[in-house]
């Protein structure tokens, strides 16, 4: 049981290192720092630009780029909503104090 837990932690750590490396590569080549290289390539494909989606999907699994983009987009939209809700609540609290 302990060995399985260690394996899971190591796998999780390696995944995070891989993801951050992908974000770093994307940022080095002019992309957004919080966006992975896979997400950026899927976005390029959607816009009809040159992309490496076929190569990335071949290496990392079918529809990897599309699934990464969907996950990124959902997270991005949720963060915007949470920030707006927080600002609204903070503003309401500030107004009621004075």
User: What residues does each domain of the chain span?
Assistant: 2-97
48-81 pLDDT, tens digit each: 999 999 999 999 899 999 999 998 888 888 877 7
Token pair belonging to 54: 């076929």
pLDDT tens column, 17-57: 988 888 898 889 888 878 889 999 999 999 999 999 999 99
Mark out the alpha helices in 1-98 (DSSP H runs).
2-28, 37-46, 53-60, 64-97
Separation CA 46–CA 95 (nearest Å): 44
């Amino acid at each position: 049981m302990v060995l399985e837990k260690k394996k899971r932690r190591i796998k999780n750590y390696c995944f995070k290192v891989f993801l951050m490396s992908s974000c770093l590569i994307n940022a080095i080549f002019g992309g957004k720092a919080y966006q992975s290289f896979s997400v950026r390539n899927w976005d390029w494909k959607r816009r009809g630009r040159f992309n490496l989606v076929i190569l990335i999907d071949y290496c990392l699994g079918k529809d990897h780029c599309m699934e990464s983009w969907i996950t990124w987009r959902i997270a991005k939209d949720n963060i915007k909503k949470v920030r707006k809700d927080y600002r609204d609540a903070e503003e309401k609290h500030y107004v009621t104090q004075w």
